[in-house]
Amino acid sequence: MKQNNLFSMIIVVLCIVVPVFFIIRNTIDNNSSIHVKMYVYNDLAYDILLPTYGNYVLNHGTNVVQINGYDVTMIESDCNNGLCLKTGKINRSGQSIVCLPNHVSVYISSSDIDIII
Ligand SMILES: [Zn+2]
């Protein structure tokens, strides 16, 4: 009877550990292929693999985007409303910074397909 309980316990632990292992591995794989895509008038200006560091000039200097690791920020813009500057820092797949007056948009995207267990 005691051995049966131990065997059941091992099965339960395996049922918990194995999916968690695959979820963690999948998350790490997704982090390794996160891109920042920057568009000017719907034309792709930059497609950058994160993490990286640097400033990127868009639309002949109207906008400047700074990438600091996984953090993406619009640091300069000559638009009149400044909404893109107020967006602040983005760092997750699906987030975006848009500057409508200058037709500039910046997206964070993951190229992997998310697998939900
Ligand atoms: Zn703007």
- The tens place of each residue's pLDDT in the chain, 117 residues long, gives 677 888 888 888 887 877 776 666 665 555 568 999 999 999 999 999 999 999 999 999 999 999 999 999 999 999 999 999 999 999 999 999 999 999 999 999 997 655 555
Between the CA of 55 and the centroid of ligand 1 the distance, in Å, is 16
Q: Looking at residue 10, what is its pLDDT?
A: 81
User: Ligand 1 centre from 31 Cα, in Å?
Assistant: 28
Distance 95 CA to ligand 1 centre (A): 16
Q: Judge whether 85 and 101 are in contact, CB under 8 Å.
A: no
Give the CA distances from residue 23 to residues 91, 94, 112, 114, 115, in Å, rounded to whole numbers and listed in that order: 20, 20, 14, 10, 9
What was the pLDDT predicted at 38? 98
Q: Which top CATH class is 34-110?
A: mainly beta
Q: Give residue 82 CA to ligand 1 midpoint distance, Å.
A: 5
What's the confidence (pLDDT) of residue 5?
Answer: 86
Q: Quote the ligand 1 centre to 90 CA distance (angstroms).
A: 15
| Cα-to-centroid distance, 10 and ligand 1 (Å) | 57
Which residue in 97, 105, 92 sits closest to 40, CA to CA? 105
Q: What's residue 95's pLDDT?
A: 97
